[in-house]
């Protein structure tokens, strides 16, 4: 029976290739949509996952990383004094605007942290060092953000607010689908950027594509002032002492820090992922795209199998006349569907992996294709093709064996 299935499948090669193209499209659409959804979800909590903090303290009404009421820097000092806390560090995550030498704008998210700290640092550094951020108005960016910032290498610069921002380090894989282009900088530089007003024009005239970071209207830019307890931050990162019960420590932090709420790192990541998956509607849109891919695949495969069966009705009638049961006929059609599923899945998955690698390296977009998701898509593809074969099976079950003797 296997020879019958393969012969029927390959007899009309152009039609077979059209069917495989349809399955490849469905596989690619489902894989990329789910990959983008998984990548988007992981990207939404990437900063949290990469931190070494046991507990994150935020405002009590925080919605997600980019939407929360600022805290005072004083909260860091208060957290450090709570029993069971080994270390507390401040973190700033705030949206801003980057301006290049041609006065073009780019949306960025400034991530301010303590370069000498231990609970947060940029990951996957490929050029430069975190210690370079001890120099005022220096930033570390992702290589996928360089084009958007009109930059090419370390030493290039732009303007954030009315202050210079010189690139001293480059990372890989830190660009966020949620927060966009990240500018990692020191805490004091982040506070200075946040309090610097956006000027309607560049602070000084630039004649080249490379911003002179030493020039600013009125002379050299002033060094960031020493931070005060009244300066605004967004989060306090807490490291617990060894063996400390995190649930009890969270309670003590909630009591000691007014208008705040403490989350473990896993709770914080889950809160952000849940928001972007469920409350933002993005998960629904991406899931809808995957459903459309399955529908397209079912329609294409169903049409191809139905046409193939219609052209071979006499062969199936002969099998029935020879005493073959319906289950034998179903096995032939099912095998055709399985061959179509496998031969469409393999090149489709290879294509998706290629797209994922390209998107990550050039666009900084994470398309997450895991072994589990790949197996899941294979199951969907097989189910899709077997489901489509039901249309053809219905046609065969009504075949009269006497058709063999008709002209």
- pLDDT, tens digit (0-9, with 9 covering 90-100), for 152-188: 889 888 888 888 889 999 998 888 777 888 999 999 9
Q: Mention every residue, 6+ apart, whose C-beta is less than 8 A from residue 371.
A: none
Q: 296 with 253, same domain?
A: no
**Mean pLDDT across the chain:** 80
Contact by Cβ (8 Å): 257, 57: yes
Co-location of 202 and 287 in the same domain: no
pLDDT of 210: 45
Q: Which is more confidently placed, 238 or 281?
A: 238
Q: Look at residue 209 in the predicted model and tell me its pLDDT.
A: 41
Residue 262: per-residue pLDDT: 92
Q: Is residue 6 domain-shared with residue 126, that is, in the same domain?
A: no
- 352-368 per-position pLDDT tens digit: 888 888 887 777 677 88
Say yes or no: 291 and 222 in one domain: no
Q: Are 305 and 12 in contact (CB under 8 A)?
A: no
Q: Within this chain, do residues 161 and 114 fall inside the same structural domain, yes or no?
A: yes
pLDDT of residue 1: 44
Rounded CA separation 375/366 (Å):
19
What percentage of the chain exceeds 90 in pLDDT? 21
Please check whether residues 363 and 235 belong to one and the same domain. no
Residue 269 falls inside a structural domain: no
Mean pLDDT of 242-247: 90
DSSP code string of 114-176? -TT-SS----SEEEE-GGGGGSTTEEEEEGGGTTTTT--STT-EEEETTEEEEEEEEESS--B
Range with the lowest mean pLDDT among 6-15, 67-76, 202-211, 265-274? 202-211
Q: Answer yes or no: is 383 within a domain.
A: yes
Which domain-ending residue is among 209, 226, 258? 258
Report the helix count and the strand count for the chain, using DSSP H and E: 11, 12
Tell me whether residue 50 is in a domain.
no
Count of structural domains, the chain:
2
Angle at 22 between CA 25 and CA 384, to 5 degrees: 90
Q: Residue 402: pLDDT above 60?
A: no
Cα distance between residue 173 and residue 43, in whole Å:
10
Q: How far, in Å, CA of 306 to CA of 244, rounded?
A: 65
Considering only residues 394 and 345, tell me which one the structure prediction assigns the higher pLDDT: 345
Is the same domain home to 14 and 111?
A: no
Average pLDDT over residues 262-289: 82
Range from 31-35, 131-135, 324-328, 377-381 carrying the lowest mean pLDDT: 324-328
- In angstroms, the first-to-last Cα distance of the chain is 25
Q: Quick one: pLDDT band at residue 374, thresholds 50, 70, 90?
A: confident
Whether residue 89 is found in the same domain as residue 153: yes
**Is residue 272 assigned to a domain?**
no
Which structural domain, as residue segments, surrounds residue 311?
2-44+282-405
């Amino acid at each position: 029976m296997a020879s019958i299935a393969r012969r029927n499948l390959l007899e009309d090669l152009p039609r077979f290739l059209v069917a495989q193209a349809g399955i490849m499209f469905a596989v690619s659409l489902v894989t990329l949509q789910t990959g983008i959804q998984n990548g988007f979800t992981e990207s939404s909590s990437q900063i949290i996952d990469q931190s070494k903090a046991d507990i994150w303290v935020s405002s009590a009404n925080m919605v997600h990383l980019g939407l929360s009421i600022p805290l005072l820097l004083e909260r860091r000092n208060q957290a450090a004094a709570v029993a069971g806390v080994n270390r507390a560090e401040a973190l700033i995550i705030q949206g801003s605007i980057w301006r290049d030498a041609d006065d073009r704008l780019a949306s960025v998210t400034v991530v301010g942290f303590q370069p000498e700290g231990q609970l947060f640092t940029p990951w996957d550094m490929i050029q430069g060092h975190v210690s370079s951020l001890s120099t005022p108005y220096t930033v570390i960016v992702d290589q996928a953000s360089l084009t958007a910032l009109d930059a090419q290498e370390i030493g290039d610069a732009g303007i954030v607010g009315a202050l210079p921002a010189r690139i001293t380090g480059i990372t890989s894989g830190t660009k966020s689908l949620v927060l966009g282009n990240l500018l990692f900088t020191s805490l004091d530089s982040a506070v200075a950027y946040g309090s610097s007003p956006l000027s309607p024009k560049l602070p000084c005239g630039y004649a080249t594509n490379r911003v002179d970071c030493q020039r600013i209207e009125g002379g050299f830019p002033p060094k960031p002032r020493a931070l005060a307890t009244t300066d605004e931050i967004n989060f306090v990162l807490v490291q617990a002492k060894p063996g400390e019960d995190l649930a009890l420590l969270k309670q003590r932090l909630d009591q000691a820090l007014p208008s705040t709420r403490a989350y473990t790192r896993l709770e914080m990541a889950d809160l952000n992922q849940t928001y972007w998956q469920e409350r933002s509607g993005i998960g629904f849109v991406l899931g809808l795209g995957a459903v459309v891919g399955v529908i397209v695949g079912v329609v294409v495969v169903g049409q191809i199998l139905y046409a193939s069966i219609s052209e071979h009705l006499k062969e199936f009638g002969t099998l029935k006349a020879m005493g073959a049961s319906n289950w034998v006929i179903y096995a032939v059609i099912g095998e055709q569907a399985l061959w179509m599923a496998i031969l469409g899945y393999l090149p489709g998955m290879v294509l998706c992996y290629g797209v994922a690698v390209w998107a990550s390296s050039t666009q900084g977009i994470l398309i997450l294709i895991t072994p589990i998701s790949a197996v899941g898509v294979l199951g969907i593809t097989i189910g899709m093709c077997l489901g489509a074969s039901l249309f053809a099976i219905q046609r065969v079950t009504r075949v009269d064996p006497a058709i063999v003797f008709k002209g």
